[in-house]
Chains A and B, each alone.
Chain A
Amino acid sequence: MNHKRGFLAFVVAFVFMFFFGFVWHGMLMKPMYLATASLWRPDADFNKHFPILILGHAVIAFAFTGLYVSKVGVNSAGMGFGYGIVMGIFACGANVIRFAVEPLTPNILLMWFAADLVCFAIMGALVGAIYKPLNAA
């Protein structure tokens, strides 16, 4: 296992995921969240919990990269893209369960599907392009 490349891939995945989430959820989906305000923390409360949001992104980026490195482990953007798509579909399954339990709107659910597929596919491509196993490094 190439720890140096793995760490670099993790940092890139984390930064990408954070900015993707900021644009998608913080800007693109903002009107949808405002229309369902009772489901979300008020702005001040959300800002207070912001470090936890960053920690959550770091944990996901770490596990996502760790799974790629240990289970796929090849230097290929295409392979990483495919891995990301599969992970994105997995995340869609979790979103469907959440929709069944929580009073979300179908529009929010569909936007989350798109977000998870696009975000994980690009993250996977980035991780696949950056990670190189030791014998290929």
Chain B
Amino acid sequence: MSWQKLFLAFIAVWVFTFFYEFIFHGMIMHSSYEQAPSLMRPEAEFKANFPLLVLGQGVIAFFFTLIFVRGFGGGGGVAGGFRYGLLFGLLLCGANLIRYAAEPLTGTIVTSWCVGMVIQFSLTGLIVGAVYKPGPSA
């Protein structure tokens, strides 16, 4: 296993996750969240907790990358990364369905989350597969 490539892939995934979620949740879904204000922290409280959000994204990015690298032993490539990300997106979609059953979210929010996460993690898998390629140093 190449730690250098793992680190590079992890950083690429973390940066992508941050900007994807900023666009998806902060812009595209913003009006949907305004319809469920009791489920969201007020703006000032959210800002105070923002470092935790970035940390959570870092944890996700690191372990997503680690499982790919260890599971494939450095192989898999872009196509393998895409399939891997698709399954991860599906797993998180399942978690969102459970959340929808327990929380008074709207159908639009949960459907958008499922679609958004499958796209997000498929793309994330593509990135990991493209960055972490087996090679002489792998």
Q: B83 an interface residue at 8 Å Cβ cutoff? A: yes
Which residues in chain A, 47-80, are within 8 Å of chain B measured between CB atoms?
A: 49-50, 52-53, 55-64, 66-67, 70-72
| B4 CB within 8 Å of chain A | no
B63 interface hit (Cβ, 8 Å): yes
Number of CB contacts from chain A to chain B under 8 A: 134
Q: What is the total number of residues of chain A having a CB less than 8 Å from a CB of chain B?
A: 44
Residues in chain B near residue A86, CB distance under 8 A? 63, 66-67
Interface residue tally on B, bucketed by range: 35 or more
CA–CA, A103 and B103, complex, Å: 13
Tell me if B's interface is mostly helix, strand, loop or mixed: helix
Per-residue contact bits, chain B 56-86, to A (CB 8 Å; 1 contact, 0 not): 1111100110111001100000000001100
Chain A residue numbers with a CB within 8 Å of B1 are none
Taking a contact as CB atoms under 8 Å apart, the answer to whether B94 and A102 are in contact is no
CB-CB under 8 A from A66, the residues of chain B are 87
Residues of B contacting A94 with CB < 8 Å? 56, 60, 92, 95
Whether the Cβ atoms of A53 and B102 lie closer than 8 Å is yes
Chain B stretch 1-57: residues in CB contact (< 8 A) with chain A: 38-41, 45-46, 49-50, 52-53, 55-57
Among A62, A92, A94, residue most surrounded by chain B Cβ atoms (within 10 Å): A94
